[in-house]
Amino acid sequence: MAIQVTRTYVGSIQNHRQVCDGLNSLGDSASKIWNVARWTAGRIWDATGEIPDEGPLKSYMKNQACWKDLNAQSSQKVIEELSDAFQSWFDLRQKDDTANPPGYRKHGDTRPRSAITFKEDGFKHDPGNNRIRLSKGSNLKGYWSDFLLCEYQTRPDINLTEVDSVQNVRAVWNGNEWELHFVCKVELKTTDTADDGVAGIDLGITNLATVAFPDEYVLYPGNSLKQDKHYFKRAEYDTEGENGPSEKSMWARQKLTKRETHFFHTLSDTIITECVERGVGALAVSWPENVRESDWGKTGNKKLHTWAFDRLYQYLEYRGEEHGVEVLKENEWETSKTCSRCGDDTKSNRVERGLYVCSSCELVANADCNGAENMRQKITPNPHGEDRSNGCVAQPSVHLFDRESGMFRTREQVVS
C-alpha cells in the first residue's frame, strides 16, 4: 500500500557566502512589498472602515515598482501572508481587544528577515546535483544573473531525487543564516505486516476529535476545554485593572495554558494508545487547509482553532512516532460532503443537527463520524468501507475528559 503525503525538508546552503547578499535583497524586497501593502491597506481601512481583500490588494500592488523585485508568484505570496495576518488579528480581536493589527517589517540589519516563497515557476530544481535556481524579479535581475544558484545539503537520510514533486521552496532566515525549506509530495510505502489497520480523524469544533477506528467510532468532545476557557477568561476579565492585566489575570492566563497543554497531551496519548491496542499502523488526520474563509466566519475563530488543531497534530505525530503509528496530514477537501458508504457527493446530501444524510444510499450517520470515515478511507486500500460494516457509523462511543482522573473515559465511567 502506498500513500502520498506532504513533507517539508530543510536544506542547508553550502555556498552561503555567494548567495547571502542576493537572498538578503530578496528578503528586503519581500519586507518592502509587505510594508507598501500594509500601508495601502491602512489607508483604505481609514477611508472605508474595511480592510481590502486579497484580490484587490494584489491588483493594486501589481502596479507598484517594488512588485517586480520578486518573481510574481513570490510577490503574491507576500500579499497572501498579509491577508492571513489581518484575518487572524480580526478573529483574535473579538476575544481580546488589546490585540495588535499586523505591523510593518523592518529593513536592513535589524532583522527578522522576511522569508521568500518560490512557487512552481520561481525555481528550477536539480536534485541530482543538490542545486536549485531561485528566480529574482525583473527589477533585481541583471547585475550578474537572473537567478540565485544555491547548492544545498539535506539530512543524510533525505533524498530529494526520490520525492514525487517539490511543490514550493521557501528561503528562511533561521536567525543565523538562510536555509531552504522544500515542501514535497512524498510517496510512503507502508508494510502490510503487523499493524496494518488504518484509522481516520476528523478535527472539529464541537467534537475536537472524532476517530474512525477499524472497529468503532469514538468521539472526543472538547467539553472540558471549553468550560476551562469560559471560567478562566472570566477570571481574567473580572480582575483586569486600569493598568492592564493584574497579577490574578496573569495567573488565570497561565493556568489556562497549562490546562490546555495537559488536555492536548492526554487526548493525543489516548488516541495513539487506542491505535496501538487496535492494531492501527496509520492514522489520517483531517487538515482543514481548504476550508473557505466564509465557512470559518460561521464557526468563529480561525486562528484559535487552527492553533489548537496544529498543536493536537504535533502531539499526535510525536506520540505516533514513539509507538510506530504513522500519522498523516490529509486535506479535508470534500470529506464532509461525501458519503462514506457509497461515495456520493451530490449537493442533495445534507447535514442536519449533526447527522449526515445521503440521498443516494440513504445512509444516516453522525456527520463527524462520516468525515472521520472518509479520512480513514483516504488511506485504506478498500474504498468506501468495503472492509467493514457501516452499521456503526450511526452509533459512536463518546469518551469524555474526566477532570477527577485527568483521563478520557466512556460516558458511563464519567457519570458513575
Based on CB atoms, which residue is closest to Zn ion, 252 or 372?
372
* CB of 339 vs Zn ion, minimal distance in Å: 3
Based on CB atoms, which residue is closest to Zn ion, 48 or 348?
348
361 contacts Zn ion (rule: CB under 5 A): yes
Residues 193, 209: Cα–Cα separation, whole Å:
28
Question: Which DSSP string corresponds to 272-328?
Answer: HHHHHHTTEEEEEEEEGGG--HHHHHHH--HHHHHHHHHHHHHHHHHHHHHHT-EEE
* CB of 205 vs Zn ion, minimal distance in Å: 25
Q: Which residues pair with 103 in a beta bridge?
A: none
Return the range that interacts with Zn ion (CB under 5 A); candidates 71-79, 131-139, 253-261, 353-361: 353-361
> For Zn ion, which residue of 92, 339, 367, 400 counts as binding (CB under 5 A)?
339
* CB of 380 vs Zn ion, minimal distance in Å: 17
Strand arrangement, sheet containing 280-287: 326-331, 280-287, 197-203, 207-212, 217-221, 397-402, 407-410
Q: Which single residue is written with the C-alpha cell 444510499?
A: 361
Residues 391, 61: Cα–Cα separation, whole Å:
55
> For Zn ion, which residue of 24, 360, 397, 410 counts as binding (CB under 5 A)?
360
Return the range that interacts with Zn ion (CB under 5 A); candidates 8-16, 22-30, 236-244, 338-346: 338-346
By C-alpha distance, which of 309, 254, 318, 256 is closest to 285? 309
Based on CB atoms, which residue is closest to Zn ion, 74 or 370?
370
Taking CB under 5 A as the criterion, which residues in 55-74 touch Zn ion?
Answer: none
* CB of 362 vs Zn ion, minimal distance in Å: 7
Based on CB atoms, which residue is closest to Zn ion, 29 or 336?
336
* CB of 300 vs Zn ion, minimal distance in Å: 30
Spell out the residues 6+ positions from residue 56 whose beta carbon is closer than 8 angstroms to its own: none
* CB of 330 vs Zn ion, minimal distance in Å: 21
> Do residues 11 and 179 touch, judged by C-beta distance below 8 A?
yes
Based on CB atoms, which residue is closest to Zn ion, 250 or 364?
364
Based on CB atoms, which residue is closest to Zn ion, 114 or 370?
370
365 contacts Zn ion (rule: CB under 5 A): no
> Do residues 262 and 224 touch, judged by C-beta distance below 8 A?
no
Neighbouring C-beta atoms of residue 272, cutoff 10 Å:
24
The b-or-e profile of 358-397 (16+ CB within 10 A means b, else e) is: beeeebebbbbbbbbbbbbbbbbeeebbeebebebbeebe
Based on CB atoms, which residue is closest to Zn ion, 17 or 347?
347
Query: Which residue type sits at 373?
Result: E
* CB of 370 vs Zn ion, minimal distance in Å: 9
357 contacts Zn ion (rule: CB under 5 A): no
358 contacts Zn ion (rule: CB under 5 A): yes
**Chain-centroid distance, C-alpha 163:** 21
Q: What is the DSSP letter of 144?
A: S
Judged by phi (left if over 0) then psi (alpha if -120 to 50, else beta), residue 217 lies in beta
Return the range that interacts with Zn ion (CB under 5 A); candidates 23-31, 42-50, 328-336, 360-368: 360-368
Based on CB atoms, which residue is closest to Zn ion, 261 or 346?
346
Binding mask 239-278 for Zn ion (x = CB under 5 A): ----------------------------------------
Based on CB atoms, which residue is closest to Zn ion, 221 or 396?
396
Based on CB atoms, which residue is closest to Zn ion, 250 or 361?
361
363 contacts Zn ion (rule: CB under 5 A): yes
- Count how many Cα atoms sit within 13 Å of the Cα of residue 344 in the half-sphere of its side chain: 15
Footprint on this chain of Zn ion (rule: CB under 5 A): 339, 341-342, 344, 358, 360-361, 363
